[in-house]
Chain A
Amino acid sequence: MSSAQRAWEWFVGKVIRLSGAMAIVFVILIFAFLLRDALPLLRSASLREILLGDTWLPTSEPPKFGMLPLVLGSLYVTVGALIIAVPLGLATAAFISEVAPRWIQEILKPTVEVLASIPSVVFGFLGLLLVGPWLMELLDLPLPVFAGLGSLMLAFMAMPTIVSVAEDAIRSVPTALRENSLALGATRWQTIRRVVIPAARSGIIAGTLLGLGRAIGETMTVLMVTGNAAVIPEGLVGILRPVRTLTATIAGEMGETAYATPHYHALFMIGLILFVITFLTNTIADIAVRRSGGVAQ
């Protein structure tokens, strides 16, 4: 090997190694930039006012940056979405991998994939023009946009994630465990419920967490169908009233905000909160996925 060749080999190796670490660099960069543009907000309001304040009026005089209504709005919509998506998603995953005849599997799997690929703005559009008005009439609601509608649309968006991760986990449970259970006189359902699902538990938890991350971070759908009223939702009936989520606030307001104003920093603060929440859920989910890989051995 000539020395030029050796130098080239060395250089390429370095470049590729650097690229490898790029993902880490970008996570840190995103965090740093959010921090940089979020922290100046603390000059306009205290952390306590920001996190616990119940009024979000960023353009009034003086502005109020209470994010509690937004946090609760996100919580309402997300929890609602999970209540629909988790049981349905897990049932579908169990159905696909354990119960369905092959031809049904072949319909269901691509259906879930198509569902995953439909853009969020299309879900918002459908909610706004089709499902919302229909539910308003059906339930006799004052408005066609409300928290529960966001939950419903989000549920269908988070479901593919839940289904595919949970299905992988269920599939990786060794066949021998199923056989052992059946050989002890268990029915197929007893085997699924008592052996397969417990063995796939970590993967199922991971799928749920990833679905949760997806639902919290979803933007366009909730921006379009939840009504965007920054009020603290009250009780159960709150799901039938408009709310505003963290993501929708950023998407709805950043367009009209001047650079480096307190409002601008406030929107970055929201971004920072979202980043931290999704970072935590994804990291925990990742650990759970790794653990479920251990069970399969």
Chain B
Amino acid sequence: MSSDANLPIKKPEGEIKLETHDLSLYYDGFHALKNISVYIPARRITALIGPSGCGKSSFLRCFNRMNDLIQSARVTGEVLIDGANVYDRTTDVAALRKRVGMVFQTPNPFPMSIYDNVAYGPRLHGIRERSALDEVVEKSLRGAALWDEVKDTLRKSALDLSGGQQQRLSIARVLAVEPEVLLMDEPCSALDPTATFKIEELMIELMENYTIVIVTHNMYQASRVSQYTGFFLLGDLIEYGDTVQIFENPKDQRTDDYVRGRFG
């Protein structure tokens, strides 16, 4: 087992949806991500693990350019979706974010009805007809396994839902804009085990149609749901590969220490 240099990144088999080449991120002077190169396969779940502050969330936010909102953040290198650089000057950021949906750590329903929350995205992107909206809302809520619980209360405020329901609503809201990629930033950290289980089940269902990248603190979650796993430490991608291999037979000592719970 080596622990000095980072291992060369192996390209997974099959279709590649997202890739980064030499991606670095700086906050003011701080080098938060160091030359990350990775391939993320389509219609699979890729988990990003590592101790807090290691850069995994910052990394996730490069794919939909949410780091743009932080004034001091600067990015170098390439982030590709279907082979096109998202940091290209001509990229339409709003259109990119429509393709690359994101679910945040804490559910944040807008202070409006359940229906309006889900219809928010489609309306943004120009759908006005009632029937079309109804259809999208139902499909998205079904997709997020929430429909049966809320179909009679669509007009009620989304703020009245439970935490787990709110998080599934956030997922439905993302599904409604028909993204290709789902970025999930510790989507279960604010939820109880039952709600977490539901979200995990849902992720496995969604994998058929979406490329999912999930940042998680919870190694069991990563091993339960993902096919590929990347381990981050202090801004470096230490090891990336097949989830089973990472958890059972890591090649780097630091990965081994982390997945065995020796630090974190």
Contact = CB atoms under 8 A, between A and B. Distances in A.
For chain B, the bracket of interface size reads 20 to 34
Given A190-B124, A194-B124, A182 B97 contact: yes
Contacts of A295: 111
Contacts of A181: 110, 120
Contact of B124 (A176, A180, A186, A199): A186
Given A185-B94, A185-B121, A186-B124, A180 B108 contact: yes
Contacts of B96: 185
Given A177-B108, A180-B170, A185 B124 contact: yes
- Main SS of chain A's interface residues? helix
B97 A183 contact: yes
A185 B98 contact: yes
Interface residues of A, number: 18
A104 B36 CA distance: 37
A184 interface: yes
A179 B94 CA distance: 12
Nearest to A195: B110
Contacts of A198: 110-112
B108 A183 contact: no
Interface of A: 174, 176-177, 179-187, 190, 194-195, 198-199, 295
Interface of B: 64, 66, 69, 94-99, 101-102, 104, 106, 108, 110-112, 120-121, 123-125, 170, 173-174, 177
Which 6 residue pairs spanning A and B have beta carbons closest together? A185-B98, A183-B102, A185-B97, A184-B121, A176-B108, A185-B94
22 contacts: A176-B106, A176-B108, A179-B66, A179-B69, A179-B104, A180-B104, A180-B110, A182-B66, A182-B97, A183-B66, A184-B173, A184-B174, A185-B94, A185-B98, A185-B121, A185-B125, A186-B97, A194-B123, A194-B124, A195-B110, A195-B120, A199-B110
